[in-house]
Amino acid sequence: MIPAEEIVLIGNLKAGEKSDITREFLEVSEEEGFIIDYSEGKAKSFILTGETIYLSMISSKTLQKRMNTFY
């Protein structure tokens, strides 16, 4: 679990990979060690915090619904 106040963005990984800027950002973040993959290689979304990017097998829509449920 990531505290809601730390979340900057919840993004759709497939849509993000279509954007050159987002793809480059994720590639550089991977190289620099800022990405933690909790998706077991089946990432559907990414969660951006101030210091880390988390990859998740849960879709961005589902994560957003869960956030709305709790907050």
Per-residue pLDDT of the chain (71 residues; tens, 9 = 90+): 888 889 999 999 999 889 999 999 999 999 999 999 999 989 999 999 999 999 999 999 999 998 888 77
pTM to 2 decimal places: 0.89
- Rounded-to-integer distance, Cα 69 and Cα 43, Å: 23
DSSP-based three-state secondary structure for 23: helix
- Rounded-to-integer distance, Cα 1 and Cα 25, Å: 23
CB atoms within 10 A of CB 47: 21
Domain that holds residue 34: 4-70
Q: What is the count of structural domains for the chain?
A: 1
